[in-house]
Structure 1
Amino acid sequence: MRMKKPYVATLDQVRITREGEYGVIEYLEPNVSGVHLKLGPEVQVMTDKEILDCHNRILEVQQRMAMEYEHVAVEIPEGRPQIEYFALGNQWTPRGDVIRCIIGSGLDGEAVIYIDDHELSLEEFGGLLTTYAGWGMRIVFVPDDRTDEEPEIVIREPDDKGE
């Protein structure tokens, strides 16, 4: 199960301990990521409320910044390489934020992904995706000769005919 992100909390929603220079904030709600907040040696004399107030202020600033952030996805022009091999990490990495690809089927029946002139196994494609771990992604399926187009998207339930 994917862990939920930390959120602005009250003292009755968390357990706070101290480890060295860190305030450790554990949410009582299951599946919420905990936080190790480096506050320096003074953390040892700070109250739980002071530690939580600092944590909450950080989250509020992050939320404000996220609201102001406008993401512009970079798509590599046709004919230019969309991916490159990162030898140190032993994996393919995207050069931009948009990947045009074709889905195929390998000899064993497992899906293969074609990006430019490269055939990636599901494992290799998964490694490429980890470059964006923590991000979201939308997948839009298009005919194989239209990967360079943005189709109209209609939000609705599919009809019974599978259309």
Structure 2
Amino acid sequence: MRPRRPYITTLADVTISRSGESAVITYGDPAVRPVVFAIGPDIDRCSDAEILARFNDSLYAARAKTEGRQHVVVEIPRGHQQLDYFAPAGQWVPRGAVLRCLIDDSAEGEPVIHIDDHELSLREFGGLLRTYAGWGMRIVFVEDDDADPPLVEIRDLENGEAAHDWR
């Protein structure tokens, strides 16, 4: 089941429990993971309705912060490392939100992803992707990892029509 983001809701659609100074908000919809929502030392004096009102207000505020604004992602320029090694997790993490990479295969026929000077197994690449768990992703296949972003057309393909074109 595809996970869904938490959304503004009512008490009829969630259960609320307490854990220390935080509330655990569990949606009736199993596609939404429980949310641990920090309240503070006054949590014992808050009703479930007050906790949910604060939580819904935080969702409204987050939405208002981005409304009317364009999402801008950072691509690390060529010649600069796109990855950092995060030792506590034992894995590579992206520095920017765009990765230029090349797909290859090993002698054993397993996928290998090349990013800069790094050769990542499919498992290592999956770990790198996990740093963006909950986000969406668009994969654009280009001629090689040095390619400039291509023009993207949004349309369906006819039977047998190629997904790439050079104009």
Aligned in 2, Cα 1:21/1:157: closer, same or farther, shift over 3 Å?
same
Q: What TM-score does the superposition give when structure 1 sets the normalisation length? A: 0.83
Q: Find the aligned partners of 1:11 and 1:157 in 2 and give their Cα distance.
A: 42
* Pairs within 5 Å for 1:7-156: 7-67=7-67, 70-144=70-144, 147-156=146-155
For the residue of structure 2 that corresponds to 1:124, the secondary structure is helix
Q: Deviations over 1:76-97 (max 9, x none)?
A: 2223332233334322222322
2:159 maps to what in 1? 160
Please, what is the CA RMSD of the aligned residues?
A: 2.2
2:165 maps to what in 1? none
Q: Find the aligned partners of 1:121 and 1:50 in 2 and give their Cα distance.
A: 48
Q: Find the aligned partners of 1:100 and 1:28 in 2 and give their Cα distance.
A: 40
Tell me the matched-pair count: 162
For the residue of structure 2 that corresponds to 1:120, the secondary structure is strand
For the residue of structure 2 that corresponds to 1:132, the secondary structure is coil
Consecutive aligned runs of 4 or more in structure 1 exceeding 6 Å deviation: none
Q: Deviations over 1:28-84 (max 9, x none)?
A: 222222223332343333222212111111111111123255332222222333223
Q: Which runs of 5+ in 1 are unaligned?
A: none
How far does residue 135 in structure 1 lie from its aligned partner after superposition? 2.5
Q: Deviations over 1:103-132 (max 9, x none)?
A: 111111111111223221111212222233
Identity of aligned residues (%): 49
How far does residue 8 in structure 1 lie from its aligned partner after superposition? 0.9
**Structure 2 letter corresponding to 1:159:** E
**Structure 1 letter corresponding to 2:141:** F
Q: What TM-score does the superposition give when structure 2 sets the normalisation length? A: 0.82
For the residue of structure 2 that corresponds to 1:119, the secondary structure is strand
